[in-house]
Amino acid sequence: MKKIVIIGAGASGLMAAAESAKKGNDVTVIEKMQRPARKVLISGKGRCNVTNACFDMEELISNVPTNPRFLYSAFSNFMPYDTIAFLEEMGVETKIERGNRVFPVSDKAVDIVDALVRNAKNCGVKIITGTAKAFEFENNLVKAVVLEDKSRIECDAAAVCTGGKSYPATGSTGDGYTLARSAGHTIIRIRPSLVPLVCSNNFIPKLQGLSLKNISVKLQKDNKTIYTDFGEMLFTHFGISGPVVLSASSHIRDIKDGKYKIILDLKPALDESMLDKRIQRDFLEYNNKDFINSLSALLPKKLIPVIVSLSGIEPSRKVNEINRQERKNLGRLIKNLELYISDLYDIEAAIVTGGGIDVKEINPKTMQSRLVENLYFAGEVIDVDAYTGGFNLQIAFSTGVLCGQNM
């Protein structure tokens, strides 16, 4: 019987612990918070988008913008349908919502947390409260984990499953990076991912609270498109947020390495010609009205003064005085509203952390360190992150299971 220590009782740590215990190992999980899996508890606004009903490997991988190939073995070993089956076994029924997002039928994240903890404890895992501060090494192997109170837990193998730096109130404060560095591992620069974007356009505060559906966005770096998406977004007091924006943010590795902007298409279902015909119909109806009063059927009320200002057409000008070129320019503006990105919002507001332990230093088939033979990693502490929709929790489950099976 091997003595195994898992650092972190989140989604990846609890799965790793249970899998290792199933092999007959003596498994202890060290968790710094009073309650395990705090981040799972607040995910999906307390409902927990636990995975994505994406059962095709290539499609699954395509939702991971950072180091997707590293996850082939982990996903092959434990797919989203395995997560759903595991939860059903633990008595948690699930449902599939828009975008194949999977939630518990109860809409309570606590049911997922309870299932993870119950599964681990049923397998004989011990969960203790404490903060792992350092490793003790002997002959380039982890000999023990030293806690903040100076106590030590000896082990035959250890796994770092501490999460990243996003949502520090849940216990994710970057401890795992310090532990990994002490073992000689490289940490790829930590950055927020799945995070709102700060915009420099002076009209942004006027649009605060405006939610847009069925829009499309293009993320451009130095005028070259690097990501496109369709869906929903929201204007905030500092910039933009919402599903399409959060996913786009994961493609911004370093805000200082280029000029980034979002090109927003407010009417993606219409090409420029169709939109022009639509504007002509509206103009015909509002022929004798002021320009600013002619767009209510086309645009949300909050957006109209901004579009009018950017169009360069006087708000009080009569619609029947607007010429063809001005009308065409209006159409182009509606399909190409440029939002200039000045920064990523704070990492503490990020859903996941970008960056982390360099995947080149981890065996993707086992989650084992290539530098220290009895050290393993799983979850967000590794330099992998995915789009919104349950994919990041699936990464935690898949890497956690693979890690535990190999310890």
Per-residue pLDDT of 281-319, as tens digits, reads 999 999 999 999 999 999 999 999 999 999 999 999 999
Q: Give me the pLDDT at residue 85, please.
A: 98
Average pLDDT over residues 199-204: 98
Specify the DSSP element, H or E, that contains 160: strand 157-160
Q: Give me the pLDDT at residue 407, please.
A: 96
Q: Give me the pLDDT at residue 165, please.
A: 82
The reply to whether 113 and 130 lie within a common domain is yes
State the chain's mean pLDDT as an integer: 96
115-153 pLDDT, tens per residue?
999 999 999 999 999 999 999 999 999 999 999 999 999
The percent of residues in the chain predicted with pLDDT above 70, rounded, is 100
Of 345, 368, 386, the one marking the end of a domain is 345
The reply to whether 251 and 216 lie within a common domain is yes
The reply to whether 200 and 188 lie within a common domain is no
DSSP class of residue 98 equals: G
Q: Give me the pLDDT at residue 172, please.
A: 75
99-111 pLDDT, tens per residue?
999 999 999 999 9
CATH number assigned to the domain comprising residue 96: 3.50.50.60
Q: How many domains does the chain have?
A: 2
Whole-prediction pTM? 0.88
Q: Which of 47-61, 142-156, 170-184, 290-304 has the weakest average pLDDT?
A: 170-184
Q: Give me the pLDDT at residue 45, please.
A: 86
Q: Give me the pLDDT at residue 330, please.
A: 98
For residue 253, name the pLDDT band (cuts at 50, 70, 90): confident
Q: Which of 284-293, 341-350, 398-407 has the weakest average pLDDT?
A: 341-350
The answer to whether residue 229 scores a pLDDT higher than 90 is yes
Q: Give me the pLDDT at residue 164, please.
A: 87
The reply to whether 89 and 202 lie within a common domain is no
Q: Which residues contact 256 (CB under 8 A, 6 or more apart)?
A: none
Q: Give me the pLDDT at residue 126, please.
A: 98
Average pLDDT over residues 223-240: 97
The reply to whether 391 and 317 lie within a common domain is no
CA distances in angstroms from 151 to 133, 154, 350, listed in the order given: 10, 10, 33
Is residue 264 within 8 Å of 217, Cβ to Cβ?
yes
Q: Copy the structure tokens of residue 127.
A: 């969960």
Of 345, 369, 384, the one marking the end of a domain is 345
Q: Give me the pLDDT at residue 166, please.
A: 76
The reply to whether 302 and 232 lie within a common domain is yes
Average pLDDT over residues 33-58: 93
Q: Copy the structure tokens of residue 167.
A: 């949502």
List of long-range contacts for 78-83, beta carbons under 8 Å, 24+ apart = 78/397, 78/398, 78/401, 78/402, 79/55, 79/398, 80/51, 80/52, 80/53, 80/54, 80/55, 80/390, 80/394, 81/53, 81/55, 82/401, 83/50, 83/51, 83/394, 83/397
Considering Cα of 198, then 234, then 352, then 127, what sign does the dihedral take? positive
The reply to whether 232 and 363 lie within a common domain is no
Of 345, 370, 394, the one marking the end of a domain is 345
205-221 pLDDT, tens per residue?
999 999 999 999 999 99
Cα separation, 390 vs 49, in Å, equals: 5
The reply to whether 105 and 118 lie within a common domain is yes
Amino acid of residue 301: K
Q: Give me the pLDDT at residue 257, please.
A: 86
Domain enclosing residue 56, as ranges: 3-192+353-405
The reply to whether 47 and 184 lie within a common domain is yes
The reply to whether 203 and 179 lie within a common domain is no
For residue 344, name the pLDDT band (cuts at 50, 70, 90): very high
The answer to whether residue 171 scores a pLDDT higher than 80 is no
Q: Copy the structure tokens of residue 108.
A: 């309570």
The reply to whether 383 and 313 lie within a common domain is no
